Amino acid sequence: MTSISRLLDNKRISWALIYFIVIGMITINVVLALKTIDELAKTQKSLTNTGEVILALDKLHILVLSAETGQRGYLLTENKDYLAPYQEALSLVLSQIQKVKALQTDMVADLDKQQVLLELVATKLDELTYTVELALNDKEKRAIRTVMTGRGKNLYNEIKTYFDELQNAEVKHRYNLYKKLNKIEKEAQVTFSISAITSFLLLFGLWFLVRINNKTEQQYKDTLEQQNEKLADEVKERTKELTLYSEELSRSNRELEDFAFVASHDLQEPLRKIRAFGDRLMTTYATEIDPKGQDYLQRMYNAAERMSNLINDLLEYSRINTRGKQFVSVALDEVLEAVLDDLEVAIEESKAEIIVTALPVINGDKSQLDQLFLNLLSNAIKFKKEAVSPHINIDYKETMVFDPQLETDSLWYEITVKDNGIGFSQEFEDKIFIPFQRLHARSQYKGTGIGLAVCRRIVERHGGIISVQSEVNVGSEFTIKIPHDFTFTTTS
C-alpha cells in the first residue's frame, strides 16, 4: 500500500507539472497573439492617418491652385464668371486649413514645416484677396502690376516646396508602414503557425497522457483489487482463527469455571471437617488440652477460616465475567444506600463520616456494582489511621472523553471515592489491583488481598477503568470512569 501511495503522489506531482506547462504555453501563445494584433492595429491606424494627411495636403494644394486660377482668369479677362470658382475655392481653402490642423501626423519632425505651410497658404490667400479687391474697385492696372511683380508666384513656389517636402515625407512614411505591416503579417503567420502546432502537440500530448493515465489507473485498480482480495482472504482467515480461538477460550473458561467450582467444593469439604473437628476438640477436650495445644488448635481453625474465605473470593473473582447478570438500569444511589446499610456496624464502630453526592442511573450489573462499592468502602474504613475517624467523600461528575473508534467525544460517568486513611506510596498503584498482592501484613489488616482485583474486573466488565491516587498518611482517592452508553451481555 505504501508503494501505491507513493506512485499516486508522484502521479499527482506529474499532472501538476503538466498542468503548469500547458497553462504556460497557452499564456505565451495568447501574449504573442495579443502583441501581434496590437502591432497590426497600431500600424493600420498609422497607415489610415498618413493617407488622410496626404489627401488633406493634396486637396489643400488643389484648392490653392483653383483659387489662384480663378484670380488670374478674372484679372486677365475681367469676366466675373471666373469669380465663382475663385470664391468657392477660397472658402474651401479656409475649411481645409482647419482640417489639416486637426490631423495628427506621425511625422513629429514635420509639424513645424506644416505650420509654416499653413501660414504661407494664409498669406497667399491674403495676396489673392487683395488683388481681386483692387480689380473689383476698378483698379485693374494696379492689380495686374501687383501680380506682375512676381510676389504671388514666388509665394506659390515656396508653398509648393513645402507641399512637396511634406507629401514626400508622408509618402515615405507610408511606404515604411507598408513594409512594417508586411513584416508583422509574416511574423503573425509564423506566430499563429507556432501556436497552432503547439496547440496540436499539447492536445496530442494530453490525449497520450490520458491514455497512459487510464492505463496506469487500471493497473492501480487491478493491484488494489488484488490486494483487497488478498486482504479479504487474510481477514477471513484471521476471523476464522479468532472465531476458533474465541470458541476455544469460551470452552476453556467454562472448563476453568467448572474446575473452580468443583475444586472449591472439594476443597471446602475437608476445610469444613477441619473446622468441625477443631470445634469438637476445643469444646469437648478443652480441659484436657494445655494452653499451647489450644493455641495450636486456634491457629489451625483460623487458617482453615482464611482458606475458606480465599477459596470463596477466588471463585467469585473467576465468575465476574462468566456468571455476571444481564445489564439493566441501576440507580447507584440505591446501591450505595444498601452498601451503607450492610456496613452499618463497621461505620458505627469506626465512627466513620461518609459524605455522598447524588449519583447517576447507569446501565450495569446491580449485584456486581454492590460488590464494587462494598469493597471500596470497607477498605476505606478498614485502612484508617490510628485514633482518627475515617472521613470518606463520594463524588460524581460527567466528563467528555475522546473515543478513537467513533472519532468524537463521548459522555462518561466519573465517580470518586476519597478517604483520609493510611494511604500508600503511588509506586504501588498497579500492584494493589493484582490478586493476592498485599501492602501490609495479615496480622495488621485482615483480608485475602483480592478485593481490589475484583473491583477492577467489575469496572472493566462495565467498559470502564479504575485508577487511584494515594499518599502515605494522607489518604487515597479511587476514580471510576464508566462510559454512558456501554452495553454488555453475559456469555453462556
8: pLDDT strictly greater than 70: no
Mean pLDDT over the full length of the chain: 75
Comparing 463 with 288, the larger pLDDT belongs to: 463
Which residue segments constitute the domains of the chain, with CATH numbers given? 2-215 (1.20.120.1730), 325-483 (3.30.565.10)
In the chain, the percentage of residues whose pLDDT exceeds 70 is: 71
- The per-residue pLDDT for range 202-259, each reduced to its tens digit, is 777 777 777 777 777 777 777 778 888 888 888 888 888 777 777 776 666 666 666 6
User: Please, which pLDDT band fits residue 310 given cuts at 50, 70 and 90?
Assistant: low
Of residues 183 and 439, more confidence is placed in 183
DSSP characters for 148-211? HTTHHHHHHHHHHHHHHHHHHHHHHHHHHHHHHHHHHHHHHHHHHHHHHHHHHHHHHHHHHHHH
**In the structure, what pLDDT confidence band is assigned to residue 38 with cuts at 50, 70 and 90?**
confident
Most confident range (mean pLDDT) of 15-19, 41-45, 297-301, 371-375 is 371-375
What does the angle CA 420 – CA 425 – CA 431 come to, to the nearest 5 degrees? 110
CA distances to 263, 274, 281, 310 from 267, rounded to whole Å, are 6, 11, 21, 11
Q: Does the pLDDT of residue 442 top 60, yes or no?
A: no
Distance of CA 425 to the CA centre of its chain: 47
pLDDT at site 461: 86
Residue 360 pLDDT greater than 70, yes or no = yes
Of 271-280, 362-371, 430-439, the range with the lowest mean pLDDT is 430-439
Percent of the chain, pLDDT > 90? 10
CA distance 368 to 324: 8
Q: Is the pLDDT of residue 394 over 90?
A: yes
- State the average pLDDT over residues 314-332: 73
The pLDDT score that the predictor gives to residue 443 is 47
Please indicate, yes or no, whether the overall pTM of this predicted structure exceeds 0.85: no
pLDDT at 441 over 50: no
Alpha carbon dihedral 199, 204, 209, 210, in 10-degree steps, equals 100
Q: Find the mean pLDDT for residues 68-82.
A: 67
Q: Which is it for the CA torsion 123, 125, 128, 130, positive or negative?
A: negative
Q: Can you give the pLDDT at residue 217?
A: 75
Query: Does 82 or 274 have the greater pLDDT score?
Result: 274
Tell me whether strands 353-356 and 408-418 are parallel, antiparallel or unpaired.
Answer: unpaired
> What integer is the mean pLDDT of 451-457?
85
The pLDDT tens digits of the residues spanning 247-296 come to 776 666 666 666 666 656 666 677 777 777 777 777 787 777 788 887 88
Residue 413 pLDDT > 80: yes
Q: What pLDDT sits at residue 491?
A: 44
What would the pLDDT profile of 377-389 be if each residue is shown by its tens digit?
Answer: 988 888 888 888 9
Amino acid letter, 491: T
Distance of CA 422 to the CA centre of its chain: 53
Using alpha carbons only, what angle is made at residue 301 by residues 300 and 305, rounded to the nearest 5 degrees? 115
Confidence tier at 395 by pLDDT (50, 70, 90): very high
How much is the pLDDT for 335? 92
The pLDDT confidence band at residue 11, using thresholds 50, 70 and 90, is low
